[in-house]
Structure 1
Amino acid sequence: MNIKSLLIGSAAALVAVSGARAADAIVAAEPEPVEYVRVCDAFGTGFFYIPGTETCLKIDGYVRFRVTASKGTSEYQQNTRARLNFDARSETELGTLRGYIRFQSNSGGVNGDAAVVQDQAMLQLGGLFMGYTESAFAALWGGGVGNFGIIQTDNGGIYAYQQTQQIGYRYDAGAFYAALVLENDLVPGAATSAARGDWAPDVVGVLGMTQGWGGADVRIAYDESAKAVGVKGLVEVAVAATGGSLRVGMFYNNKVGNRYGVGLPGGAAGETANWSAGLGYTQDVTETVNATLGYQYFDGFSAANGGTTKTAHLVEGALSWTPVTNFNVRLEGNYGWNKSNANVNTTTASGFVWVRRSF
């Protein structure tokens, strides 16, 4: 065998071996495409699509440390709150389908673990909504000019705050909105069925509007158990000259014990005012500092009608500092005084400071 034959034979052998190995090689499968989280801007900031669905989800909340002091107490109270909100929405042929859950814990003044509770849970389809949240008299589901109190502080003055099981319908037409809500008036833990209430619900009606100058809102509630009516009216005006916001409001209640009647600063437990009126003003002092000051007047029922305090006053203010995005330091306080039918004056005062990180 000459050298040429040997080289040709060796090359053929190498080709044969290489071909065999190529035929036996394992070919890696193409990786599955990864679906990264997509931003959903249909419902505002913070929403993203749940992978594989057309449902948009928003997760937010805050952690807050608060120290409170009150007149007549020998110590301050500390509270650390954790709040987590889940808001899922999607569009359907019947309107927006929404589910909302709020989990919350409060380690109030104790050195120990805090229980987590379902603070709110709501579902909505189009204008129909139902679940457990603030009473529509205090804060209508979906927002409204008349939500919360007259004074734009965290306490909000006094405005008959409560949470209820409810079912309602809301109608929005441009700048106008209206709602009718049925609220469960059963009292949990009451000793007798009569005290707990009956099957008939309370009823709350809301009518409001928003404009460039501000807005107005009127709410009427009927307490079925007490056979009492409560009325709430609020107007908010943007003060163009200063960039501030002025809020003016009133409450009316025709019967002592009405769950939709506002309480009295320093009044007896469970006592409500016949009527109340007030105003609050909020102003941006700097880019990071915001201030609020407000006053609320109360006229209670006479002793003959089951009341114990005839007139009362409340002054409330707050100073809020937001040095960086999502971080807030707030100082808030109030001072109240009343004059009973026996001409006995009572004063109350409290205040708090909090540090809060939102996300």
Structure 2
Amino acid sequence: MNIKSLLLGSAAALAVVSGAQAADAIVAAEPEPVEYVRVCDAYGTGYFYIPGTETCLKIEGYIRFQVNVGDQVGGSLAHPNDSDWDAVTRGQVQFTAKSDTEYGPLTGVIVMQFNADNATDQEAKLDSAYLDIAGFRAGLFYSWWDDGLSGETDDIGSPVTLHNSIRYQYETGDFYAGISVDELEDSPFYDGETANNFGVAVGLGGKAGAFSYQITAGYDTDNEEGAVRAMGTVEIGPGTLGLAAVYSTNPNAYYNAAEWAIAAEYAIKATDKLKITPGVQYYSDYGVDGSDFADGDAWKVGLTVDYQIVDNFYAKASVQYLDPEDADDSTTGYFRLQRSF
């Protein structure tokens, strides 16, 4: 028997076997249809439908590298030292979910932040988490006192502006007004006791052509003191002029740097990519002496430079000089690289 005859015989045998078992052949199930991600353009760019739902989701964030300079800024989060420089890295991601309801869009936001002073000294924290519907917001979020001018010189807010809060805010295209009840358990000024009370803040603001404005006030029930702030910007020439003033009855959770202060800046749009912002601030009765403001005044001047390297990637450098009447002067600053997505 030659090879040709052997191959022909094998093929015939296989054909007989295949024919005999044709009725018992296994038929593979057809794959389930795949639902591809659909773009959701009802709430702006970047949203997509969560598969199988009518909820739209947006994922965004940034990666930041920063070198801080100044007196005793070095060391780690747990073990500070007297070094005059320190490099830090941050990653932040935000999830925003929206869906239509009979009361308008239902919004949920979660912001996670990760900070690293070095490979072993790191922290992860919940930076914000809240729900929002029909002007009502509840959860962990930043208050109106977190807002400020565009540069880095102004010091017109509280060191702690992230609270568990309930807020209602009415908004139109160019105007908003609202009221917020804030838990002040993490107040920066306790007046000799552990803070475990609440504050009430109000805010209103808007735009009128090239002019924008904001008025914010807050009353700290723990310290029984309050503060009020007015802030405005207007486009003049090649830049934007910003002015702000703040007054505090005594140190409290909403403002505790001075009895009153005024700040000014001019953000110069030098090119499409370059912005230069000089700023100045004056404090009256700067600092805290026991439960009251101190008697000395202070001046602060600074310069901030922003440069957009490419889309979603920019560099920022800032230097600030503070000269208190009753304390040593100081110079601080930083250089930052940030990629947003």
TM-score calculated relative to the size of structure 2: 0.83
Q: Which residue type is aligned with residue 126 of structure 1?
A: A
% of aligned pairs identical? 34
Partner of 2:316: 330
Of the candidates 213, 218, 224, which is equivalent to residue 215 of structure 2? 218
Partner of 2:93: 84
Shift of 1:253: 0.5
**CA distance in structure 2 between the aligned counterparts of 1:322 and 1:190, rounded to whole angstroms:** 38
Partner of 1:314: 300
Higher mean C-alpha displacement, 99-108 vs 32-41: 32-41
Alpha carbons 1:233, 1:249 under 8 Å: kept: yes
Partner of 1:170: 169
Q: Deviations over 1:168-221 (max 9, x none)?
A: 1111133211110000122489999x923455x210011112232131111111
The answer on 1:104 being equivalent to 2:110 is no
The answer on 1:251 being equivalent to 2:250 is no
Partner of 2:329: 347
Shift of 1:278: 1.2
Q: Deviations over 1:56-115 (max 9, x none)?
A: 11111111111111046543111111111111111211122111111111112x342523
Specify whether residues 74 and 30 from structure 1 end up closer, same or farther in structure 2 by C-alpha distance, changes over 3 A only: closer
Query: Secondary structure of the equivalent of 1:137?
Result: helix
**CA distance in structure 2 between the aligned counterparts of 1:39 and 1:128, rounded to whole angstroms:** 27
Of the candidates 128, 148, 163, which is equivalent to residue 120 of structure 1? 128
The answer on 1:276 being equivalent to 2:250 is no
Q: Which residue type is aligned with residue 307 of structure 1?
A: F
Of the candidates 235, 258, 264, which is equivalent to residue 232 of structure 2? 235
Query: Secondary structure of the equivalent of 1:45?
Result: coil
Q: Deviations over 1:143-184 (max 9, x none)?
A: xxxxx223x125653422421111111111332111100001
Higher mean C-alpha displacement, 155-164 vs 277-286: 155-164
Alpha carbons 1:187, 1:195 under 8 Å: kept: no
Specify whether residues 306 and 196 from structure 1 end up closer, same or farther in structure 2 by C-alpha distance, changes over 3 A only: closer
Q: Which runs of 5+ in 2 are unaligned?
A: 1-16, 73-81
Q: Which residue type is aligned with residue 248 of structure 1?
A: L
Alpha carbons 2:189, 2:256 under 8 Å: kept: no
Partner of 1:159: 157
Alpha carbons 2:188, 2:253 under 8 Å: kept: no
Partner of 1:145: none
Alpha carbons 1:251, 1:262 under 8 Å: kept: no
State the aligned residue count.
315
Query: Secondary structure of the equivalent of 2:328?
Result: strand
Q: Which residue type is aligned with residue 285 of structure 1?
A: A
Q: Which residue type is aligned with residue 313 of structure 2?
A: F
**CA distance in structure 2 between the aligned counterparts of 1:259 and 1:189, rounded to whole angstroms:** 6
Specify whether residues 253 and 79 from structure 1 end up closer, same or farther in structure 2 by C-alpha distance, changes over 3 A only: same
**CA distance in structure 2 between the aligned counterparts of 1:328 and 1:159, rounded to whole angstroms:** 25
Q: Which residue type is aligned with residue 115 of structure 1?
A: E
Alpha carbons 1:102, 1:118 under 8 Å: kept: yes
Q: Deviations over 1:227-281 (max 9, x none)?
A: 1110011111123x32x221111101111x2121241xxxxxxxxx111111111
**CA distance in structure 2 between the aligned counterparts of 1:190 and 1:336, rounded to whole angstroms:** 22
Higher mean C-alpha displacement, 22-31 vs 177-186: 22-31
Query: Secondary structure of the equivalent of 1:225?
Result: coil
Partner of 2:6: none
**Superposed CA RMSD:** 3.0
Shift of 1:313: 1.0
**CA distance in structure 2 between the aligned counterparts of 1:305 and 1:190, rounded to whole angstroms:** 9
TM-score calculated relative to the size of structure 1: 0.79
Specify whether residues 299 and 285 from structure 1 end up closer, same or farther in structure 2 by C-alpha distance, changes over 3 A only: same
Q: Which residue type is aligned with residue 311 of structure 1?
A: D
Partner of 2:79: none
Alpha carbons 1:135, 1:161 under 8 Å: kept: no
Specify whether residues 196 and 24 from structure 1 end up closer, same or farther in structure 2 by C-alpha distance, changes over 3 A only: same
Q: Which residue type is aligned with residue 331 of structure 1?
A: A
The answer on 1:37 being equivalent to 2:51 is no
Partner of 1:7: none
**CA distance in structure 2 between the aligned counterparts of 1:167 and 1:303, rounded to whole angstroms:** 32
**CA distance in structure 2 between the aligned counterparts of 1:153 and 1:62, rounded to whole angstroms:** 19
